[in-house]
Amino acid sequence: MAQVTFKNNPVTLVGKEVVVGEKAPNFSVLANDLSPVTLQDTAGKIRLISVVPSLDTGVCSTQTNKFNSEAASLGDDVAILTISMDLPFAQKRWCGANAADAIQTLSDHRDASFGESYGVLMQELRLLARSVFVVDKNDVVTYAEYVGEGTDHPNYEKALEAVKALTN
């Protein structure tokens, strides 16, 4: 299991760590309009799944804006999903305030389905650990990064390279 800290304090991750080469676990989260969304809703696309503790923090906001700004260069075959425990209403507000219209923000607050399925639910905080996953068109995980310290940035370049390798 990935070892993660948040503000330098160790946290317990609930669920099974996702490994490159395995089938991506399904999940059920909420869209900004409270409708359910699963992995299968983006079937046939390459998925870049960006996971953040809360959009209302500096690093999370930067991470989400970075992937939003890169979306156009990745093409229509790529879906960028940003998942957090933020309420759907807060996510919608954040997207409007940041002109984030090339990504889909999704809330795991109701069931923690994504957090448990991908092994990123921080038990002590009921937040999601910062991470990035790339899932190909056949639902196979081709990239997984569990960021060791929750207040650090992910490796944007490696994640984007993983997506671009699938679009060529």
Enumerate the active-site residues. 60
Whole-angstrom Cα distance, residue 12 to residue 34?
28
Closest CA to 50 of 105, 132, 116, 113: 132
Phi then psi for 76, rounded to 5 degrees?
-75, -15
Closest CA to 118 of 36, 68, 31, 49: 49
Cα end-to-end distance, the chain, whole Å: 32
Whole-angstrom Cα distance, residue 3 to residue 119?
11
Give the residues across from 61 on adjacent strands: none
Whole-angstrom Cα distance, residue 48 to residue 32?
18
131-135 and 28-30 as β-strands: parallel, antiparallel, unpaired?
A: unpaired
